[in-house]
A and B are shown apart, each in its own frame.
Chain A
């Protein structure tokens, strides 16, 4: 349980705390007695030691994705990975075509990169998910054209937790010789991934979603065609020229350890989180007027996104301030617009604004869930009690 300032943390999809075991190995790579040297300094032993730690971590990340370590490029996080994938492929393959396909419910890192490519003369098709938040292979088949160079679809949606059928979509892309990028920031370490079976050419992952540090991520770039990706950051030719910049050894080592632990503990953790999520949903749905957002089955256990009828979103979020939860994506939290993901799923502005994303993780306990259900039940009842009711002629005495 994380209970800081008497707040129960249920926002693991936004970020996770660094696991103590991860922090421990990171600390080995920072101070003067540790592995602090520049991994690019191969002229001395200290640099080669750092390089060794970086390469071990690279293997851990590759192992979790079913990739080769030679196909992993370190970045500053999934946002940079998404940028590199979209812009890098578009720039490298513009002679092949100028059409990109993605979906409206992608992370902003993909959507904004796609819009940038539009400004550079590319045409982008934004698919609207049909199957309760899932882009279907049929939709993709219809959208692909002879001049399509890239398809970018997220594995797991960050707001709803809905899982896309990446393998089926990957098959379509491979048949058409179209590069396939998957944003796996929310799925890596939580679902089994095999980039070969899924026929993925590029995959973005992040350290801080898996109990690793913030500021580190990676892009899987399949050997061969995809490795023509043009860099977006220049200066030194690190990472086989795809991403220049001194490698942050401590962060990389942390991400490697985080991915190693996630792989080891995934099966047991999945089962435990499914139990907690179902307990949370069973508790909340008793309120009535509670709608599950996203596909009822094809979703990861760590995310539960629900809309509350008859409750205004801002009041709901304030009433639930004992819980660290998210109203829509954390990345859109700075604005008051209704979640674009839930709007794309057909929810009204009102229901999209009264949605709450509960995301649970490694340190969530049964007691946390039970307390969360208590708080949600009490506050939703209270706010609904304050609100006017259509056609309500019953009389209740004002306090």
Chain B
């Protein structure tokens, strides 16, 4: 009994180490490169970093800002990983998010009925729209073997431009100064509750936590999660094992798109209360989420923390720009360097694979 407990603990330790090893090393190197850039700006890296983390994680007000900003990033990273772990390179999370959010906002604004019900309906409609928008490239891949990378990427532009059109013309809020392109505000009852009296921190973050838990559940506890993961590791293996790959692809992409829509809906219903032009694309939520997914190697818990960390870098980055005059781009540089250093892992892996292949050629030395 005790032995099996020990084995379980060891296995858990191994898993945790595997999940955290790469991101930690990458973060370290990323900060190191950032330090060089800060030095080049003529500042003391230690002092800058101290200030930066102080104004992103250590002071409650900034911590709340960090978590608020992290909310859509976390959800986007989950949406990305949903598809990527099954081997479908969906880089259209932004488009799916925009489509879903626009539909949700329209439903919330224009469908008549009791606000509570309509609010709920809006979220569901948004998820359906995001799912459908993600199914489009999946169907194209299935029927015509079109590269999903290309279709999902291109559909981002389609979604962004269509959304721009709608908020510029038919959905534009004409009550204000008429200079900004956004919709009217949604009904107060539909808004997510604030979790802090002094900041905009809201229940959207709890939704992000829930999505993460859902991801953990799907990946670890369901047959679907198992089959899609195997398909991502080696599609031939999954096919040989008799899994229904088209079905897995459709469900995967639909879920990915539905989750993506939640990211934008949380932003509208929890923070802005309206859809304004470019609110989801200029902030790069989807791309930061993609980076978090890459850095954490698609592990849900890892992505959760990495998303918060990246969001902290951005919040801290703008803080040091204000107080120390260090350009905001420093945060972007660090963020990109971390992602770069994580991809170093790929090189290691390829080398390892080569080595193991040679071993196989020889007939399994370790046998």
A and B: bona fide binding partners: no
Interface on B for A, CB 8 Å cutoff? none
Interface on A for B, CB 8 Å cutoff? none
